[in-house]
Amino acid sequence: MKFMKKSLLAAVLLAQAAMFSVAAESDKETREDIAKHRAMAAAHESAAKCREAGKGEAVCNKELQTACKGIAIGKFCGMKHEH
């Protein structure tokens, strides 16, 4: 009987440890995701300022692509609008 209680307690503790490990990894992934969104937002803000400065769309899109390299999917930093 004592062995079963100890085994059950060990299983519960192991499950809790695994749950905390997954939660910590999830928090890390969430922080990384937030950082990528902020980086993409900053790149898009720079692209808007580039256009406000009178630079051409091709120039500003090239700067956007450079700023977004490695953080977003696609040619337009994860976002494209019509025009």
75 within domain boundaries: no
Residue 79 lies in a domain: no
Domain count, the chain: 1
Q: Which domain holds residue 23?
A: 2-68
Q: How many residues does the chain have?
A: 83
pLDDT along the chain (83 residues), means of 10: 59 62 74 91 94 96 91 77 56
Residue 82 lies in a domain: no
DSSP for 2-67, please give it. HHHHHHHHHHHHHHHHHHHHHHHHHHHHHHHHHHHHHHHHHHHHHHHHHHHTT--HHHHHHHHHHH
Residue 38 lies in a domain: yes
- pLDDT for the residue numbered 1: 56
Asked if residue 77 is part of any domain, the answer here is: no
Assigned domain for 53 exists:
yes
Domain-embedded: residue 25: yes
- pLDDT value for 58: 93
Per-residue model confidence (pLDDT) at position 56: 95
